[in-house]
């Protein structure tokens, strides 16, 4: 019997982050873990452009504080296109539960980001997540 890794449901990610070092580290880490990072941006406009583009995105990782606006606008755009958004922020979560599938609070270890993505995959598959990172909060139940 062959044992292999489970095929991922989430493979294509959009990273929306205004802190350059964190954006670079996240992109590098996720690429090394086998994800395709469609783009990394710190702009609301650029992020929305990627979301509405014909290339599919499986998950948007979005910070609330961006150089040209609020990441909540990005999460709204993702939701309108049925793309889950995971807020990755250190800011207070004022009235964002309706726009995102969950939130991973900064700072967090990289393994928590992988666990958060796995939890979202489980939800999208209609299953309860095995384990949530301590810094993650889910807002929406499985679809």
80-107 pLDDT per residue, tens: 999 999 999 887 666 666 688 999 999 9
Within a 13 Å sphere around the CA of 48, how many CA atoms are in the beta-carbon half?
15
Number of domains in the chain: 1
Distance of alpha carbon 134 from alpha carbon 53, whole angstroms: 34
Residue 143 lies in a domain: no
Model confidence at 13, pLDDT cuts 50, 70, 90, reads very high
In this predicted structure, what is the pLDDT of residue 142? 47
In this predicted structure, what is the pLDDT of residue 7? 79
Model confidence at 78, pLDDT cuts 50, 70, 90, reads very high
Residue 112 lies in a domain: yes
Distance of alpha carbon 128 from alpha carbon 57, whole angstroms: 22
* Structural domain for 114, as ranges: 12-138
Residue 111 lies in a domain: yes
Residue 124 lies in a domain: yes
CATH number for the domain that contains residue 63: 3.40.50.2300
Residue 46 lies in a domain: yes
Residue 121 lies in a domain: yes
Model confidence at 116, pLDDT cuts 50, 70, 90, reads very high
Outline where the chain has alpha helix (H). 20-32, 44-52, 71-80, 110-124
Model confidence at 55, pLDDT cuts 50, 70, 90, reads confident
Given a contact cutoff of 8 angstroms between Cβ atoms, the answer to whether 118 and 129 are in contact is yes
């Amino acid at each position: 019997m062959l044992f292999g890794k489970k095929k991922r449901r989430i493979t294509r990610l959009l990273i929306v982050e205004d802190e350059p070092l964190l954006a670079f580290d996240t992109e590098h880490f996720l690429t090394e873990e086998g994800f395709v990072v469609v783009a990394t941006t710190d702009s609301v406009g650029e992020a929305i452009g990627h979301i509405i583009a014909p290339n599919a995105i499986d998950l948007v990782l979005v910070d609330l504080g961006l150089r040209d606006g609020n990441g909540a606008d990005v999460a709204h755009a993702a939701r309108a296109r049925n793309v889950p958004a995971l807020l990755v922020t250190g800011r207070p979560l004022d009235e964002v539960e309706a726009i995102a599938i969950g939130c991973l609070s900064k700072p967090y270890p990289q393994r928590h980001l992988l666990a958060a993505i796995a939890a979202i995959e489980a939800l999208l598959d209609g299953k309860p997540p095995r384990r949530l990172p301590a810094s993650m909060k889910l807002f929406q139940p499985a679809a």
